[in-house]
Amino acid sequence: MSKINRQKIVDSVPQTGFFGHPKGLSTLFFTEFWERFSYYGMRAILVFYMYYEVTKGGLGIDKSLALSIMSIYGSLVYMSGIIGGWLADRIFGSSKAVFYGGILIMFGHIALAIPGSVAMFFVSMVLIVLGTGMLKPNVSSAVGELYSEKDERRDAGFTIYYMSINLGGFLSPLIVGSIANFHIGFAIAAVGMFFGLLVFVLTKKKNLGLVGTVIANPLSPTEKKKTFTIFGLAVIILAVLCAVLIPKGLLTFARFINIVTFLGILIPTIYFVVMYRSPKTTAVERSRIIAYIPLFIAAVMFWAIQEQGSTILASYADTRTQLHFAGIEIKPAWFQSLNPLFIIIFAPLFAWIWVKLGKRQPTIPQKFSLSLLFAGLSFLVILIPSYFGGTDSLVSPMWLVISYLIVVFGELCMSPVGLSATTKLAPAAFSAQTMSLWFLASAAAQALNAQVVKFYTPETEMTYFGVIGGASIVLGIILLVLAPKIQGYMKGIR
């Protein structure tokens, strides 16, 4: 996208109208709010839907397998962002990508709302994975197009936009999780995405102007024909392989999970190798890539713990937690509102702390090490009630609240800092790809979780939380010791 086009895009957007920000921010804010409402509402009850017995409205899938599938689901959602970004950059622009993605997500939730069908469950997975991959990264990039490169409102605009994610994530588990019928809950998620599409379609022309309409690097007619041919053949080959291998028992749940785990590790590895060996990468940039590798590994470790909020901790809330507390009947899905709630409360505090410390604040590697220490501590906290009361008795919900709170402290040391570090350390020729790489840390983490969660049982509970929590703390200490060395490889970036 040329600078002329970028300025034309900015000029086409009403520059006031939403808390002093471009009017288009309101369109993207509410589109993202409703998309996150639908996604987190669905996610809050999905694992229960998988492993609850058919008589209770579930699918009756083995709990260990359900936890693995849930992790793979999250991994594929992050991986699909690469596809969504490519489609927007090369074929139809981010505005259409958002619209098409929303349609796929809505139909995915509708598929889940159809009772008792394992086949429809997997259809919904495909639709939601592809839809989220198209919508999520392109809404974020559209926010950036609202502002000129020198507009000082940009960071504040992204902060407002970030609040939409957490507001949607906070409200939806409380609402959807309160519904006794799984399919009505999924239908509410579908309605949420419908509202997001409605907001986007009705306000984009007036509020967004040319945002999302310019294709950054369009395919030539020859490239387009070749791409569509390859894509069509790939779909046909995959369909044939599934039709042959699944009935013969050669492509099972377990093997599919293993394939995704392998891809979750392989894809980011390829990214690092290609960027490091590229002739477009300078010597200074290669040094920064070396510095980025331990940060990426730390991010994988952190997200491996944080993302278990929707798998292991969800199961823990359902089966190990006293849900009658202070005269209130607590729904297990409600606990998943804690993460976004704590982020809304504490994000301004952490931002103030970093500004107050100024040059005395911890370096990027030191902040990453803090995040690992917090993550490990959040798992070790769960050991306390098990140690004193055993693994057979129900525990106070306050232990889960404390665990979620501690891991949020780690997230606030990791997530915004990681995004900033990625933009600073990225080679100039791979700036967009490096941002994709950052999100692949979450994909890799959940791909690994698909294997790790298999080891969780009531009998192994203390070992499970202790080993993973302890490993995170050990890795955090190692990173803290290596922080000065990593800082040196960052070549002036702090």
pLDDT, one tens digit per residue, over 176-229 is 999 989 999 999 999 999 999 999 999 988 888 878 787 777 878 888 888 889
Of 218, 242, 257, which one is at a domain's C-terminal end? 218
Residues 199 and 88 in one domain: yes
Q: Kindly state whether residue 226 falls inside one of the protein's structural domains.
A: no
CATH of the domain at 6: 1.20.1250.20
Tell me which DSSP letter residue 321 carries.
B
C-alpha span between 81 and 123 (Å, rounded): 19
Q: Kindly state whether residue 246 falls inside one of the protein's structural domains.
A: no
Reading the chain (494 residues) residue by residue, the pLDDT tens digits are: 444 567 787 777 778 878 788 888 899 999 999 999 999 999 999 999 999 998 888 889 999 999 999 999 999 988 888 888 788 877 888 888 899 999 999 999 999 998 877 888 888 999 999 999 888 888 877 887 888 767 777 767 777 888 888 899 999 999 999 998 999 999 999 999 999 999 999 998 888 887 878 777 787 888 888 888 988 898 899 888 888 887 877 777 788 889 989 999 999 999 889 888 988 888 988 999 999 999 999 999 999 999 999 899 999 999 999 999 888 899 999 999 999 999 999 988 888 888 888 888 888 899 999 999 999 999 999 999 888 877 778 899 999 999 999 999 999 888 878 877 877 788 877 766 677 788 899 999 999 999 999 999 888 999 999 999 999 999 999 999 999 999 888 887 76
Residues 10 and 127 in one domain: yes
Tokens of 164: 């939409």
Of 218, 253, 277, which one is at a domain's C-terminal end? 218
Q: Kindly state whether residue 342 falls inside one of the protein's structural domains.
A: yes
Nearest to 48 by CA among 34, 61, 32, 35: 61
Residues 214 and 334 in one domain: no
Residues 97 and 40 in one domain: yes
**Contact between residue 85 and residue 138 where contact means Cβ atoms under 8 Å apart:** yes
CA dihedral 339, 442, 282, 428 (to 10 degrees): -60
Q: Give the pLDDT of residue 432.
A: 63
C-alpha span between 37 and 176 (Å, rounded): 9
Q: Give the pLDDT of residue 294.
A: 93
Q: Kindly state whether residue 248 falls inside one of the protein's structural domains.
A: no
Compute the C-alpha angle 68/412/336, nearest 5°.
45
C-alpha span between 334 and 328 (Å, rounded): 12
Residues 209 and 325 in one domain: no
Of 183, 218, 253, which one is at a domain's C-terminal end? 218
Nearest to 194 by CA among 41, 46, 86: 41
Q: Give the pLDDT of residue 376.
A: 96
Q: Give the pLDDT of residue 142.
A: 83
**Contact between residue 125 and residue 108 where contact means Cβ atoms under 8 Å apart:** yes
pTM of the model: 0.88
Q: Kindly state whether residue 197 falls inside one of the protein's structural domains.
A: yes
Residues 147 and 6 in one domain: yes
Rounded to the nearest 10 degrees, the angle between the axes of helix 253-277 and helix 283-306 is 160
Residues 303 and 447 in one domain: yes
For 22, 27, 160, 177, the CA distances from 33, given in Å and listed in that order, are 17, 10, 11, 18
**Contact between residue 307 and residue 444 where contact means Cβ atoms under 8 Å apart:** no
Residues 328 and 397 in one domain: yes
C-alpha span between 179 and 23 (Å, rounded): 35
What's the total number of domains in the chain?
2
Domain that holds residue 402: 267-494
Residues 407 and 281 in one domain: yes
Residues 42 and 116 in one domain: yes
Task: Please count the other Cβ atoms lying within 10 Å of the Cβ belonging to residue 359.
Answer: 5
**Contact between residue 175 and residue 350 where contact means Cβ atoms under 8 Å apart:** no
Q: Kindly state whether residue 251 falls inside one of the protein's structural domains.
A: no
Q: Give the pLDDT of residue 430.
A: 74
Q: Kindly state whether residue 236 falls inside one of the protein's structural domains.
A: no
**What is the rounded radius of gyration, in angstroms, for the C-alpha atoms of the chain?**
22
Q: Give the pLDDT of residue 2.
A: 46
